[in-house]
């Protein structure tokens, strides 16, 4: 059991939860890309695509929500370090089968990664899209929300393989 505790970075030797000590880590460029999908009815999809939703500019609101969520991640996810974001982008794509794909890219120079920031941005953007369009379709579904790639830090780079959890 103690060897398992040693490999868990948020558990100390006594089994207590704590924030990871990053004081000795080097500052490196960090970047993460996450996506989230929203599937909706044809009516809601066409209204959103045509800019004819009851709550106004949904896409601008979704982008702002993603940026705000990235910046607030450490306040939402326990044990996340606050990071000064250097860049956040949010792209929204209309896909076949009444699906919208939201991609969030977060980057900074820091001592810890930005995966949680990118994932939080994508998740909150999807929830915002749902909130803005729910008057047209309460049966929308969100997911998957997942990390696509990350760069920087001790663990290096990661890129999701295309055959991993296909959409």
Specify the pairing of strand 28-39 against strand 99-110.
antiparallel
Catalytic residue among 57, 131, 137, 151, which?
131
Within a 13 Å sphere around the CA of 48, how many CA atoms are in the beta-carbon half? 32
User: Which contiguous run of DSSP H or E holds residue 104?
Assistant: strand 99-110
Query: Is 12 one of the annotated active-site residues of the chain?
Result: no
Angle, helices 115-133/42-49, rounded to nearest 10 degrees? 100
Residue 64: burial class (beta carbons within 10 Å; 0-12, 13-18, 19+) = middle
Tell me the sheet residues that pair with 105: 33, 89
Catalytic residues: 131
């Amino acid at each position: 059991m103690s060897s398992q505790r040693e490999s868990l970075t948020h558990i100390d030797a006594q089994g207590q939860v704590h924030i990871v000590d990053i004081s000795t880590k080097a500052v490196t460029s960090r970047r993460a890309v996450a996506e989230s999908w929203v599937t909706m009815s044809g009516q809601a999809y066409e209204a959103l695509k045509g800019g004819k939703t009851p709550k106004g500019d949904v896409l601008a609101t979704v982008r702002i929500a993603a940026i705000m969520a990235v910046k607030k991640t450490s306040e939402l996810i326990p044990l996340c370090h606050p990071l000064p974001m250097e860049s956040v982008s949010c792209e929204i794509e209309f896909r076949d089968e009444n699906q919208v794909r939201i991609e969030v890219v977060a980057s900074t120079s820091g001592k810890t990664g930005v995966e949680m920031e990118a994932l939080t941005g994508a998740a909150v953007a999807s929830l915002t899209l749902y909130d803005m369009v729910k008057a047209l379709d309460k049966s929308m579904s969100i997911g998957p929300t997942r990390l696509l790639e990350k760069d920087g830090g001790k663990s290096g780079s990661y890129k999701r393989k295309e055959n991993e959890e296909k959409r």
